[in-house]
A and B are shown apart, each in its own frame.
Chain A
Amino acid sequence: MPLPAPRTNVRVVTLNINGQDLSAREDETVIELCRENKIPIPSLCWMDGLSVVGACRLCVVEIAGSPRLQAACSTRVREGMVVQTSTDRLRRYRRILVELLFAERNHVCSVCVSNGHCELQWLAQTCGVDHVRMPYRGVGYSLDSSHEMFRVDHNRCVLCTRCVRVCDEIEGAHTWDVMGRGSGCQVVTDLAKPWGDSGSCTSCGKCVQVCPTGALVKQGTSVGEMVKDQQFLSILARRRSNR
């Protein structure tokens, strides 16, 4: 948690976001204030209740007087701050960031268990990504179904590290972490052992709930697993006719 702990004695500041005057507690971040006031800012790694990592860069905003763009999640409000959250330039940048995410792994929405409930899919739509200009990397990733309740499909992971943080900060198990570097990064359970062999996992399922995509899912939710048991019918019918 990089941001210093908020003081107990907080003051209130006023600032301007997209031309709108707003008041905020001094210990709030720009993204928190935006969410509070229904000002849309796309984000992926940020999640209310988890520590801030500032990794997805989708929430970058323009702040008057600052030469660089700042991530709204890792920027605290300041008195007199003037923020723009949705300029043409920001929208163009976000579009490319989403395109980069799609091109990185193998996101095939049509056959994904999270189709229709996926934050990445939703981000693509809201950012106007109707196609990806870069070539997809086309590197195959593994799928780990060894856990009796859950499954991880690395093809669909966006490395937001929500699972890593919720497991460490909320559940206190720290089963998840990240290995490798660059595009070789991958989330791992217990020093890259199969999830099912993990001694630290408490099977609480928090990671599955916070995962924005279909990378972490409950077992039994994919199309192929929808096996019907219709044996009961013949048994019932036989019993009935034997009556």
Chain B
Amino acid sequence: MNLDDLADLAAKYRNEAQEPEIEVRVCMAASCQSSGAVPVLDALRAGCGDKPEGNCKVKGVGCMGLCSAGPLIAVAPPAAPLEEAVIYRDVTAEDAPEILASAFPGSTPVERLRCPTDMPFFSRQHKIVLENAGIVDPNSFRGYVMAGGYAAMVQALSEMPPQDVINEVTTSGLRGRGGGGYPTGLKWSTVAKMPAGQKYVICNADEGDPGAFMDRAILESDPHRVLEGMAIAAYAIGANKGYVYVRAEYPLAVERLKTAIRKAKRAGFLGNHICETQFNFDVEIRLGAGAFVCGEETALMASVEGGRGQPRPRPPYPAEYGLWGSPTLINNVETYANIAPIITNGGAWLAGIGTEKSKGTKVFALAGTIVNTGLIEVDMGTRLRDIIFDIGGGIPNGKGFKAVQTGGPSGGCVPEAHLDLPVDYDSLKTLGTMMGSGGMIVMDETSNMVDVARFFMEFCMDESCGKCIPCRTGTQQMHGLLDKIARTEASRTDLELLEELCEVVQATSLCGLGQTAPNPVLSTLRYFRQEYEQQLG
């Protein structure tokens, strides 16, 4: 199969589907479902059937981003982007008849439910990873193909030798979106250079940072995009087997991924002889049992193998010695979701977006005390101030801003003074925090930073696997000291001991969890030391 064949297939699908004049898209991602999207979809479906006057179709789609305003609905012509749609917020089942009545061109939208699409939340985003989110039906293989899906994979398989694929990824400057920011092209070429034989591709979807839901949203909105990225990676490095390691706490994402794998296999886009080529690639899902540490690659592999989810010393790195000792490529969900457009548009295209050392866009999950809680995608290099105050809409209830925590329990907080910094991997590092997977927790002036540090330390303490001493016991002692400070019973000696423990745990822990566990303490100490000192007994 080549690109022309795929275009024919998409045209055939389009014909058979008899595209309607207008689509009513209902967000069916986890956050809108939790605020009642299912009855809304049912009511719309029921109402749509009675409408003989026009050709309208109700469709469940993925995340539109503005989760705090869910359930969200978009009314638009098929395939039209979100900005051209009429978006309704906080919709209930009772609103369905009114929405349907005003759906057709020429009628007036329901103003009381309307969510303006010219607000910065929509206009300032740049959607690459999320370009299909909120537009295609995540359960529909045909929908993905009609939206141009699998073109990148077909192009790679039919026109590009593996080395060219790797070259494009390298040229793009894409860096790992799971948090470390390791150059993706370099990782791919390392695994590709290992002698031919059994190799594996793993997608790390064990998203566990408090307040982060980027990977969940991507998998719930556009699972085929991730599978396509994995297949391209497998082709490039010479693997024939892939695993998606996804946490069991994401049942909806797992369900959609399962459906996607089944449908792609049936259509010949996964499995043996993919698209009538000699390339075989099979994907299996592995469920994580709720351990944060399994997001660490060596622990993840141990868990996939069926062992205890504990990290092991690196080197050897997975690229050399991975699953069952074979060379293994591990990338994050968002990284894989970036691959298809890189192949389609060329690596140079992505390299033209973002900052000098961080290319492309980044998906962030906005949480905490912020007006527009939800999912956004912006160019690398966007200022934190723009993300929080423009796109995020600022702090609710007239409160002042205090800090934003990035990178979850491995990251740190950024105070007001540094909000004008362009966000990329390296700039955040200079502030003592990190990009992480993309969680952003905004805190208003009422937040106590010792409590914030204690919260994240408690998280690390509970999530430590218990293998190495500094993480297992050090996090516990640090938590005890933070608790003592919060109770205003601590002395200056206790604060000194806390800082010493931070240093030791950071320097000696076996894996990233322990090495970064002190970061929230160190960063709050760096910017809000007076709060600690004030609370000393």
Contact size range, B: 35 or more
Interface code A29-67, partner B: CB below 8 Å = 1, 0 otherwise? 000000000000000000000001111111010000000
A69 at the interface (CB under 8 A from B): yes
Q: Is A230 an interface residue (CB 8 A)?
A: no
Candidates A4, A57, A104, A159; contact of B508 at CB < 8 Å: A57
Stretch at the interface among B200-208, B441-449, B467-475: B467-475
Q: A93-B508, A96-B504, A181-B466 are in contact. Are A135 and B313 (CB under 8 A)?
A: no
Docked Cα-Cα span, A91 to B493, in Å, equals 20
Q: State in angstroms the CA–CA spacing of A52 and B314 once bound together.
A: 12
Q: Which of A4, A134, A135, A183 contacts B466 (CB 8 A)?
A: A183
* In the assembled complex, B464 has its CB within 8 A of some CB on chain A: yes
A residues less than 8 Å from B320 (CB atoms): 4
Check A178 against B308 for contact (C-beta < 8 Å). Answer: yes
A74 within 8 A of B: yes
Contact with A along B161-177 (1 / 0, CB 8 A): 00000000000000000
Any chain B CB within 8 A of the CB of A81?
Answer: no
Task: Given A4-B321, A159-B466, A183-B466, decide whether A57 and B510 contact each other with a Cβ distance below 8 A.
Answer: yes
Give B507's nearest chain A residue, CB to CB: A69
Contact count band on A = 35 or more
Q: Are A55 and B467 in contact (CB under 8 A)?
A: yes
Docked complex: B518-537 residues within 8 A CB-CB of A: none
Q: Is the CB of B480 within 8 A of A97?
A: no
User: Which residue on chain B has the smallest CB distance to residue A69?
Assistant: B507
Cβ of A181 and Cβ of B473 under 8 Å apart? no
Choose among B313, B501, B510 the residue with the greatest number of A CB atoms under 10 Å from its CB: B313
Indicate if B431 sits at the interface (CB-CB under 8 A): no
Q: Given known contacts A93-B508, A133-B497, is B469 in contact with A100 (CB within 8 Å)?
A: yes
Whether B500 contacts A57 by the Cβ 8 Å rule is: no
B202 → chain A closest CB, angstroms: 17
Asked if residues A180 and B466 are in contact (CB atoms below 8 Å), the reply is yes
User: Which of A101, A135, A184 interacts with B469 by CB under 8 Å?
Assistant: A101
Q: Does B68 sit within 8 A of A, measured CB to CB? A: no
Closest-CB distance, A124 to chain B (whole angstroms): 14
CA distance A63 to B278 in the complex (A): 46
CA distance in complex: A53, B320 (Å): 18
Task: Report the minimum CB–CB distance from B462 to chain A (whole Å).
Answer: 6
A1-40 toward B: CB 8 Å interface, digit per residue (1/0)? 0111000000000000000000000000000000000000
How far does the Cβ of B91 sit from chain A's closest Cβ, in whole Å? 42
Task: Say if the beta carbon of B251 comes within 8 Å of chain A.
Answer: no
Q: Which of A90-109 contact B (CB under 8 A)?
A: 92-93, 96-97, 100-101, 103-104
**B501 contacts A96, C-beta separation under 8 Å:** yes
A83 part of interface (Cβ distance < 8 Å): no
Q: Mark each residue of chain B from 487 to 500: 1 if its CB lies under 8 Å from any CB of chain A, else 0.
A: 00000000001001
Contacting pair A54 B472 (CB below 8 A): no
Task: Knowing A69-B508, A181-B464, say if A2 contacts B312 (CB, 8 Å).
Answer: yes
Q: Across the interface, do B463 and A182 meet the contact criterion of CB distance under 8 Å?
A: yes
Q: Which of A93, A178, A183 contacts B476 (CB 8 A)?
A: A183
Q: Is the CB of B476 within 8 A of A137?
A: yes
**Bound Cα distance from A110 to B504, whole angstroms:** 29
Determine if A183 and B510 form an interchain contact, defined as CB atoms under 8 angstroms apart. no
Q: What 0/1 pattern do residues 476 to 491 of B give for CB contact below 8 A with A?
A: 1100100000000000
Assess whether A237 is interfacial by the CB under 8 Å rule: no
Closest CB of chain B to A169's CB: distance in Å? 14
Asked whether, in the complex, the Cβ of B508 is within 8 Å of the Cβ of A3, the reply is no
**Chain A hits for B252, CB < 8 A:** none
- B477 and A134 form a contact (CB under 8 A): yes
Q: Is the CB of B467 within 8 A of A104?
A: no
Q: Which 4 A-B pairs have the closest CB atoms?
A: A185-B466, A74-B313, A54-B313, A100-B473
13 A-B residue pairs with CB within 8 Å: A2-B312, A2-B321, A4-B316, A57-B509, A60-B508, A97-B508, A100-B474, A101-B473, A104-B476, A133-B497, A159-B467, A183-B461, A183-B466
Q: Besides the contacts A2-B312, A181-B466, what 9 more A-B pairs have beta carbons closer than 8 Å? A: A2-B298, A54-B312, A54-B468, A57-B469, A60-B508, A97-B508, A134-B477, A134-B480, A183-B472
